[in-house]
Amino acid sequence: MSEDRHNDLGIALRALRIASDKTAETVARRASMSAGKLSKIENGRVLPTVKDVELILTALGVSEAAKTEFLEQARAAATEATAWRELRRMGHWKHQQAIRAIEARTGMLRLFQGQLIPGLLQSAEYVSAVFAMNPEMSEESKAKTIAARLERQVALYDPTRSFHFIICEHVLHWRIGQPALMATQMDRLVSLSRLPNVTIGVVPLGPQMPDFPMTCFSAHDDRLVIVGTFHSEVTTRDPRDVELYLSTFAAFDSVALYGDAMRTLAESIRDGFFRERETGWPRWPGDS
């Protein structure tokens, strides 16, 4: 999007806010962003992401029809990338808050993970271990980010929303902490899988796979996909891209274990971590 175009977009957002008789502070708070960021967007000094625009429009309370039409300006590039260095600059906890705002508007969340336990399913100890891996984060930033991620998990207990997670089995073995921490995480997966609105599938190591787990992604209803890469977070609304990710999700869904089969696998991995803690060396299910 050219500088002129994002200047026009900012001016239009400001005009829409004024017409709705809402203050910048109110809109910024509802959109999970600072008043300073909103000001920069409205004045064309910051290029808003598609997520930013949708959050602002939602905060303004515009109709779905008007929102669809208005977002066309933000879709000049259907796919955008937000560099992780930018996310670090704004504060990891603010990024968690922005994701929470997106999730709050999602009726059905589908999430595929081939790297880590999904954030919404992580135990407090697992969350702490994840962010301990980042030496650049200050202790204050870590504390705020951990709290923000754990706050997101409240959504799992909202019966009006549905969550479908698919996790590759190797993720369950991937150690980011001591065996006791990993064992506790397995118990959390088993417990959360019993929630009526939460579906957790594990893609086992044995069967032939339908695709490669190249990256993790979340699909928010059928309208938005967020993809994580090493250097950035990519957001796409292009219907063709969304359909590609939904079909990829369905392919892994077809070979995943669910229900008692998933819980039996998770519990056997948990028991392996317990044995490792007791003996000092790893023994996995099937070891003699």
For the segment 108-117, what is each residue's pLDDT rounded down to a tens digit? 999 999 999 9
Q: What residue spans in the chain does CATH classification 3.30.870.10 cover?
A: 79-279
Q: What is the CATH number of domain 1-77?
A: 1.10.260.40
Inform me whether the pLDDT recorded for 6 exceeds 70: no
Burial of 208 (0-12, 13-18, 19+ CB in 10 A): exposed
Q: What is the pLDDT of residue 238?
A: 78
What does the pLDDT look like over 252-282, one tens digit per residue? 999 999 999 999 999 999 999 998 877 765 5
Q: What is the pLDDT of residue 77?
A: 37
Q: What is the CATH number of domain 79-279?
A: 3.30.870.10
Nearest to 49 by CA among 235, 247, 204: 235
pTM of the complete model: 0.71
Q: What's the whole-number mean pLDDT along residues 203-223?
A: 90
Other beta carbons within 10 Å of 287: 8
How many residues are there in the chain? 288
Q: What residue spans in the chain does CATH classification 1.10.260.40 cover?
A: 1-77
What does the pLDDT look like over 41-85, one tens digit per residue? 888 777 677 788 889 999 999 888 778 777 766 655 334 555 555
Q: What's the whole-number mean pLDDT along residues 87-116?
A: 83
Alpha carbon distances (Å) from 250 to 181, 225, 246, 265, 279:
31, 14, 6, 21, 40
Q: What is the pLDDT of residue 90?
A: 61
Q: What is the pLDDT of residue 79?
A: 45
